[in-house]
Amino acid sequence: MNASLEQIKQRFKNNETVCQKVVDLFALISNRTRFRILCLLSEGEFCVGDIVDTIQISNFSNISQQLRLLTMAGIVDRRRDGKRILYSLVDERVKEIVSYLHDNFLNA
């Protein structure tokens, strides 16, 4: 038997925060440049120069800005290696999303 409408309403009310987090995450990764950065970072750790060369966007400052947004969101982390700053994808949920999309849409 289906749940009552009141039970469904309560469940939806309780999930509002979760829904907002999901919508915010998808809004963040729906940007083409950010998504391509995440696809690359799912392969490993890279510096800005490598990211620019690989995803072939010539605007270095745009890549840096996108990396800053992803870092502030806690999806990407950065570490210093000598003079270079290396970026990596640290949110396992986002790694799984990128992997799923790659396997089911990009390789189709």
pLDDT at 42: 94
pLDDT at 107: 66
* C-alpha distance across the termini of the chain, in Å: 38
Q: Residue ranges of the domains in the chain?
A: 32-106
| pLDDT tens figures, 59-108 | 778 899 999 999 999 999 999 999 999 999 999 999 999 999 888 887 65
Residue 3 in 3-state DSSP?
A: coil
Its CATH class, for the domain covering 32-106, is mainly alpha
pLDDT at 43: 93
Q: Could you tell me if 52 and 63 are in contact, meaning their C-beta atoms sit under 8 angstroms apart? A: yes
| pLDDT tens figures, 18-64 | 888 889 999 998 999 999 999 999 999 999 999 999 988 777 788 99
CA–CA dist 32, 66 (Å, integer): 10
Residue 79 main-chain phi, psi, to 5 deg: -145, 150
- pLDDT exceeds cutoff 90 at 17: no
pLDDT at 60: 75
Residue 2's pLDDT band (boundaries 50, 70, 90)? low
